[in-house]
Structure 1
Amino acid sequence: MFFRHLLKLSCAIAGLGLLTSAYATSSSQTHRPIGFIAEQELRHISTYYPGRMAGSPAELMTADYINQRFKQMGYQSDLRDFKTRYLYTTDDGKKNWHNVTGTSVIAVKPGNTHQQILITAHLDTYTPMSDSDVNENLGGLTLQGSDDNASGVGVLLELAERLRNVKTNATLRFLVLSGEEIGNKGAADYISRMSSEEKRNTQLVINIDAVITGDRLYFHSGKKTTHEVAGKTRDRAIALAKRFGIPASVNEGHNTTYPKGTGCCSDQVPFDNADIPVLSVEASNWNTGRGDGYQQTSDTGKFPGGSSWHKPQYDNLKYLDEHLPGRIKARTRDTVKILLPLVEELAGK
């Protein structure tokens, strides 16, 4: 425990230097074009904090940096540690539990009512769960996780920056969660600490995960989200995208496991299972592969298997900028452009 506190202090000192160098020019960047903040945060996190595996020093340093960013914006913000574990498989087939301490970041802007909207994105990169993963360097120090999920964190931070002085009826909570890559553990930890009243008062959870590599933006509701809420959230997001001329879709339900309009497999799932309304945001192509959203784009030489997920050689700034030129700028802009007015509408300006 002493070592972890010492590491936190070291992270704070190191992170402060990075924060100052990147953001010393202005305490507010809302005068910047839409998407500028999200892109800069994506690039900053990718460059300075690769290998953000759950429980790693890199993840803790990232969490500290994000916590400082929220405080700089004027939010009430804190780090939240939680203990968890995952199964690791060796080459001889043996499975062992690996214990880790994840660190999430929680920032809040109080509203005028007890109602709240949670905006979430995970900060961890893929954690190797087998000797085979280690041999392929999955989750290793070279994994920048630019798409998965520095992109989601960047968009979340821009939303926080632009909403910080907007008066809302609903309280806004920004959750940058650990442990998504080992089974949505940060989301599960957060839900386990919610009271029944808090769950009832949660209007919506907006989860943002990997918005760069995929062919187009997708907006999904939870399987348990009512049609009424889906109309005000998912369908409204699609309408805003259409207004702005941004290509966006819903899952058409080609895979029966994922009914039309619903998504898959990120931090929104535990909230959906807890009967909390969900809107998930990602970039993919649900019309390819098995129709489950895992294949993000065409299976070409640029992205073998049609995906950059968990692949250090593809999910990094240099590769994405070379093979998808201009995509990072365009997609961060488009995601913020849709979500900002949507959150303002839902929160009640």
Structure 2
Amino acid sequence: MLSADYLRQQFTQMGYQSDIRTFNSRFIYTTKDNRKNWHNVTGSTVIAAHEGRVPQQIIIMAHLDTYAPQSDADVDANLGGLTLQGMDDNAAGLGVMLELAARLKDIPTHYGIRFIATSGEEEGKLGAENLLKRMSDAEKKNTLLVINLDNLIVGDKLYFNSGKNTPEAVRTLTRDRALAIARRYGIAANTNPGRNPSYPKGTGCCNDAEVFDKAGISVLSVEATNWNLGKKDGYQQRVKNASFPNGNSWHDVRLDNQQHIDKALPGRIERRSRDVVRIMLPLVKELAKAEKTS
């Protein structure tokens, strides 16, 4: 996978030990006549390690894959495929992860940091599932937090959400601290208001972080959407308009690309990416217990 090779090269140039793990999986494809067939896929996971002084670690994660059509209907609707840029979902998330890696590379930390780019997220969190499966019990126990970066650009509002199973004390140190840092810098940031009973206040859903949440590992999801719209489940990213007729850009070749987003939301890509880094960098330094540098 070209994107996996590119990411590994970027990490290596920064001075990180980085490798690519491949895995085999499959998803169901539905044809026009409603026949369902298994499609085999090979996924790639890129991992870069920032070693700490102790075995405990924080994972910063973003998925590198774009949506693959899962039916003939998807193909007909221009959803997914090789022409999908995926600026919102999830090139910007990868860009933020790389920027954090670059800023943190020379800063000693008490806890280790793993930068992980997963694949197969769009086919059902396949890469995250494989990553969790390959972790030893000790690695799971030593993983203090998983931070997931996904869909950062098109959404009206920037959100920081915890996992349903993340302890209250960890929510305070992670989600609430992120919101406090945002306020300090004058950056508008929110948490899910909980207007849909299926998604309690302050929690997120439906991304790679969910895999770790269900395994009892604390998570922090960073995303942009609008939890006040539609079914109030985070799926509608913004008010419907001519540029985004359904109120989102999900998997649409015509909408989730740099040219369209720059025209519809001038300056948004750079501004939102910068805002996320401004919040996440001091937060990760705090959580990983970074040493003071002169």
Fold conserved between structures, TM > 0.5:
yes
Segment drifting more, 137-146 vs 333-342 = 137-146
Query: Would you say the 8 A contact 2:78–2:254 is kept in 1?
Result: no
CA deviation digits over 1:111-166, x for unaligned, max 9?
Answer: 00111000000010001000111122321222100000001000000000000001
Amino acid at match of 1:238: L
TM-score, with structure 1 as normaliser: 0.82
Q: By percentage of residues, which structure has more helix?
A: 1
| Equivalent residue, structure 2, for 1:73 | 14
Q: How many residues align?
A: 290
**How do 1:1-349 and structure 2 match up within 5 A?**
60-349=1-290
Distance, in Å, in 1 between the alignment partners of 2:231 and 2:77 is: 24
CA deviation digits over 1:82-111, x for unaligned, max 9?
Answer: 000000000001111001101110110110
3-state SS of the aligned residue for 1:169?
Answer: coil
Distance, in Å, in 1 between the alignment partners of 2:153 and 2:121 is: 18
Amino acid at match of 1:345: E
CA deviation digits over 1:261-281, x for unaligned, max 9?
Answer: 000100000000110000000
Distance, in Å, in 1 between the alignment partners of 2:6 and 2:111 is: 26
Amino acid at match of 2:246: G
3-state SS of the aligned residue for 1:240?
Answer: helix
CA deviation digits over 1:296-345, x for unaligned, max 9?
Answer: 00011111111011111110010000010010110000000000000000
CA deviation digits over 1:25-53, x for unaligned, max 9?
Answer: xxxxxxxxxxxxxxxxxxxxxxxxxxxxx
Amino acid at match of 1:305: N
Alpha-carbon distance, 1:287 to partner: 0.6
Query: Would you say the 8 A contact 2:148–2:222 is kept in 1?
Result: yes
Distance, in Å, in 2 between the alignment partners of 1:301 and 1:341 is: 38
Distance, in Å, in 2 between the alignment partners of 1:328 and 1:138 is: 21
Distance, in Å, in 2 between the alignment partners of 1:258 and 1:331 is: 25
RMSD, matched Cα:
0.6
Identity, % of aligned pairs? 58
Query: Would you say the 8 A contact 2:25–2:41 is kept in 1?
Result: yes
CA deviation digits over 1:154-212, x for unaligned, max 9?
Answer: 00000000000010011110010000000000000000011111111111000000110
Alpha-carbon distance, 1:216 to partner: 1.3
3-state SS of the aligned residue for 2:98?
Answer: helix
Distance, in Å, in 2 between the alignment partners of 1:132 and 1:215 is: 28
